[in-house]
Structure 1
Amino acid sequence: MDQRERLIASRSVYEGAILNLRVDDVIMPNGRETKREVVEHSPAVGIVAVQDGCLFLVEQFRYAVRTSLLEIPAGIVEKGESPVETACREIQEEIGYRADRMEEIGRLYTSPGFSEEELIFFWADGLSPSKLPADDDESIVVRKVPIPEVWDMIRDGTIRDGKTVAILSRLALEGKIAYH
């Protein structure tokens, strides 16, 4: 059975710096009309950077949830930038390292019930110090955490960021990082 919904009308209700919001009128496969609220968001990247058995994490206050979170370095793909270029820039801005090689390792939709944002993950290899200035609107603390401790931090709720938990779990399932 075809599960696609057919668009009847669409209207923009908000345009912001990092996201837009639109409301679509659609017809469901059963013929019923309904509305869909959609957050339009540029793609973003997340970077898994491991050095000497430790994962680089960034701690930053996230206003929407009113708490500091530990996350893998990440950022929005800017206009004219490819995802790999974004990943290279973000690790220099956020953790102060550059990578000799950046390999795409997966993609996911962050919240497909209401957002079209796609997150593209990269594995950063061959790290060496190289710092770019941080973004004006970010205050970041860099943490280098041994991989076994990362799993404990996920288990006890210290790490609650979805993208971080998702990509590390996938890498563990694939045998690319150790799970204890």
Structure 2
Amino acid sequence: MDFGERTLSTEVLYRGKVLDLHVDQVELPGGRVTSREAVRHSPAVAIVAVEGNDIYLVRQFRHAVGDFILEIPAGIVESGETPLQTAAREIQEEIAMKAENLEEIGRIYTSPGFSDEEIVLFWAEGLSPSRLPADDDEFIQVEKVPLSQVWSMIDDGVIKDGKTIVALYRMALKGKIAYH
């Protein structure tokens, strides 16, 4: 049996800089019609940038949660950019580093129950200083953290950001960083 849903109509309730809010009328398997709310989000990237035994994290205030969050560098894919180009730009803007090698390590959906946001995860190595001007609406504090401390920071709730946690565990599974 096909359990997919067929979209019958879409009403756009809001259009924003990085997301739109849709209410879709869908037909369920068996023919019943219902509505689904969906956030249509611009694609994004997040980068695990490691230098020696340290990882670069950024601390910034996130309005939606009303708190400062410690996370890996990340950003929205701009029009005309590939995710790889965005990753290269974002680490220069956020941590003032350029990577000799950027490798895609996977893709994740952040909240597929209501959003189509996809984040492309990257591993950055061969870092050297290189700064691009930061976005004028971002206020970021860069923190270089020993990799040996990130697991306890996750366990203790210091790092709560989902993309950061997934990217770090993925890198540990791939053997690029040690899991303690």
Q: TM-score normalised by the shorter chain: which range applies? A: over 0.9
Normalising by structure 1, report the TM-score. Answer: 0.97
1:147-162 maps to which residues of 2 (within 5 A)? 147-162=147-162
* 1:96-133: CA deviation from partner (whole Å, max 9, x where unpaired): 00011111110011111111111001111110000111
Q: What is the deviation of 1:178?
A: 0.3
Aligned to 1:138: 138
Which letter maps to 1:112? P
What secondary structure does 1:106 align onto?
strand
How far apart, CA to CA, are the structure 2 residues paired with 1:145 and 1:2? Answer: 48
Matched residue, 1:165: 165
**DSSP 3-state at the match of 1:139:** coil
Give runs of aligned pairs for residues 46-85 of structure 1, distance below 5 A.
46-85=46-85
Cα shift readout 1:18-68 (whole Å, capped 9, x = no counterpart): 111111000111322111111111110000000011110000000110000
> 62-71 or 24-33: which moved more?
24-33
Structure 2 unaligned spans of 5+: none
Q: One-letter code of the match for 1:33?
A: V
State how far apart, in whole Å, the 2-side matches of 1:169 and 1:118 are: 18
For structure 1, the residue ranges without an aligned partner over 5 or more in a row are none
**Corresponding residue for residue 122 of structure 1:** 122
Percent of residue pairs identical: 62
Aligned to 1:41: 41
After TM superposition, the structure 1 stretch with the greater mean CA deviation from structure 2, 70-79 or 35-44, is 35-44
Which amino acid in 1 is paired with 2:45?
V
Q: Counterparts of 2:175 and 2:98 in 1: how far apart (Å)?
A: 25
Query: What value does the CA root-mean-square deviation take over the aligned residues?
Result: 0.8
Paired letter, 1:132? L
Larger deviation: 128-137 or 167-176?
167-176
Partner of 2:4: 4
> How much has 1:176 moved relative to structure 2?
2.1
| In structure 2, C-alpha distance between the alignment counterparts of 1:168 and 1:102, rounded to whole Å | 15
1:62-108 deviations in Å (ceiling 9; x for gaps): 01100000000000000001100000000000000001111111001
How far apart are the structure 1 equivalents of 2:3 and 2:88?
38
- For residues 56 and 2 of structure 2, the distance between their equivalents in structure 1, rounded to whole angstroms, comes to 43
- 2:110 alignment counterpart: 110
> Per-residue deviation at 1:14?
0.5
Q: Give the Cα separation in 2 of the matches to 1:30 and 1:146.
A: 54
